[in-house]
Chains A and B, each alone.
Chain A
Amino acid sequence: MVEVTRVYHFSAAHRLANPALPVERNVALYGDCHRPHGHNYYLEVTVAGRPDPVTGMAVDLARLDDAVNGSVVAEVDHRALEEVPALRGVITTGESLARAVWRILVPALPAESLRRVAVVETAKNRFEYEGGEG
């Protein structure tokens, strides 16, 4: 079994806020991140499979690219994440974004193939989600 990881990129604006909380509480919780700002995000999607004995390919990369570019990158690139329909209700922290992307991709990929979604928000902040309940 090999794990194939593809790295994608998008740029987006966001602000951290829980709409159910008062402004003072959001400011206290999220600090500078409560202000609208943006990132050059990297999105790493890892899928597992066994290389086909004839083609040597474990993953249909074109299908993976279509799924990620179509269902995620095209939706979020150069947008405000809070305005993206697929992310409605998501507080756009890196970890919540990783989980949201996982949930979007699972039905778009071969069963049981998705292993990990990593959201790299900045060179210093990386978030990973692997599904499951822990």
Chain B
Amino acid sequence: MMAGRELAYTTRRFSFAAAHRYHVEGWSAEENRRAFGELGGVHGHNYTLDVTIRGPIDPETGMVIDLGGLKRIVGETVVERFDHADLNADPLFRGRVPTTENLAIVTWELLAPKLGVDRLWQIRVWEDPTLYVDYRGV
């Protein structure tokens, strides 16, 4: 067995509270109401974010990733950006409805350059305890 080549998965959980509304600019109020119903009004969620890193276990440290470093990167890149914020006002959601699906994709796009696409395995965004979306970059 080659030491340090075995892949393992490490997941760290984060949370942030944010406001959003489902709304397509360029659609009439009636079209928006028909497509999104009550989701068209500004409301918010306590989001939970699970970031999963996949990689070999470092033979020296015994770790896939330094959790302190992961916490700092996700904190600075995602949590500080979205916590107590209006997602619709974020430039990342200009012309992009801040659904849970798109929030998972945007979070991946923010983190992949910092963590590496070879290490970032999955983004899971929980909108509430009954709904979550997974995105793995493809």
Interface residues of A (CB under 8 A from B): 1-8, 51, 54-59, 61
Contact = CB atoms under 8 A, between A and B. Distances in A.
B24 A51 contact: no
Given A55-B97, A57-B99, A58-B101, A2 B135 contact: yes
B24 A2 contact: no
A5 B131 contact: yes
B104 A2 contact: yes
Given A51-B99, A56-B99, A57-B101, A6 B22 contact: no
A15 B107 CA distance: 44
Interface in B14-36: 22, 24, 35-36
Contact of B134 (A5, A59, A61): A5
Interface range, B side: 20 to 34
Contacts of B135: 2-3
A109 B105 CA distance: 24
Contacts, number: 53
B81 interface: no
Given A2-B133, A56-B99, A51 B138 contact: no
B134 A56 contact: no
A5 B96 CA distance: 21
B100 A4 contact: yes
A61 B133 CA distance: 12
B133 A5 contact: yes
B134 A3 contact: yes
Contact of B130 (A3, A7, A59): A7
